[in-house]
Amino acid sequence: MKLSYFPGCTLKNKAKSLDIYARKSSELFGITLEEIDNWQCCGGVYSTAKNDVATKLASVRALKQAYEKGQALVTVCSACHNVIKQTNHLMKNDTAIAKKIDRYINDGSMYTGQAQVYHYLEMLRDIVGFDEIRKKVVNPLNGKKIGAYYGCLLLRPSSVMQMDNPENPTIMEELISALGGQSIIYANRNECCGGYIAMESGELARKKSNQVIENAKKAGAEMIITACPLCRYNLIKNGSDIPVVYFTELLAQALGIKGDTNE
């Protein structure tokens, strides 16, 4: 099975391990991620303003390419997924903007949100299935206590993202248990790490990240996994004394593709 894949800027640079292990692991389940040709950066954040059209072009191009190939579009980075999924939703529901964007792209066919967008986690849950993953695990995590960190981008706005219950998500917890780990539920797992504010106000980012780390640790987590390079950066930079790794690394480790992720 082949799926279109949008890696995004960070996965080609600072977050290479998020990318590499996503691709390698999916191969194990017979899924090939085909990188979109000439993809452009999604912009990192989705602009909700109705008069902000240009910032959506990169996402629409990627979506359109996937749709024309008859493939669903998969992303791993939370930010890319958020931008692309929201853009797709907009294309489907706002014809005026879809027409405007069509005039920019101007290649003969208007895109109106037909492509299916999956986050890699959704792909694991809905296409592969956690039971299938469980069967392929060779290095189970032996009950390691792992706190999934969702942040904001994967889940919200929930009416558009529709990945999971935005206040009590389970998708990463189910993955952890499929890999033989013990998932730790903590309330701040869907709160913001501070995101791009790290550039502007390191203090606020520190405060937010610390709240997440503290809450996870008090709940008993020995490790945090995330799908977002910026979340990982903020948590590590602000002094997490437990490892913060990408969920794809953990996946690859359990599947025997990668060595121990405990640094």
**Binding footprint of another protein on the chain (CB under 8 A):** 8-10, 13-15, 41, 43-52, 55, 77, 79, 151-152, 155-159, 165-168, 185-188, 191-192, 194-201, 204, 208, 211, 214-215, 218-219, 228-230, 233, 236-237
- φ and ψ of 40, to 5 deg: -120, 160
2 or 218, CB closer to another protein?
Answer: 218
Identify which of residues 2 and 14 has a Cβ nearer to another protein in the complex.
14
Structure letter (DSSP) for residue 124:
I
Residue 173 CB, shortest distance to another protein, in Å, is 12
> Least separation, in Å, of the C-beta of 2 and another protein?
26
Q: Token match 């005039």: residue?
A: 103
Distance of closest approach, residue 8 Cβ to another protein, in angstroms: 7
Instruction: Tell me if 221 sits within 8 A of 186, measured CB to CB.
Output: yes
Nearer to another protein, 24 or 217 (CB): 217
Q: Which residue number, 169 or 181, has a Cβ lying nearer to another protein?
A: 169
**Cα separation, 143 vs 177, whole angstroms:** 8
Cis peptide before 7 (omega within 30 of 0): no
Q: How far apart are CA 79 and CA 224, in angstroms?
A: 18
Least distance CB 171 / another protein (angstroms): 15
Instruction: Kindly tell me which of 178 and 230 has the beta carbon lying closer to another protein.
Output: 230
In a 3-state reduction of DSSP, which class is residue 183? strand
Task: Give the nearest distance from C-beta 112 to another protein in angstroms.
Answer: 19
Minimum Å distance from CB 74 to another protein?
18
Q: Which is nearer to another protein, 23 or 208 (CB)?
A: 208
Strand order in the sheet with 73-75: 32-35, 2-6, 73-75, 117-119
What is the DSSP code (8-state) at residue 55? G
* Residue in 101, 92, 75, 251 with CA at minimum distance from that of residue 172: 251
Beta bridge pairs of residue 183: 146
Q: Report the residue number, 175 or 216, with the smaller CB distance to another protein.
A: 216
CB of 169 to another protein, least distance (A): 9
Nearest to 40 by CA among 89, 105, 120: 105
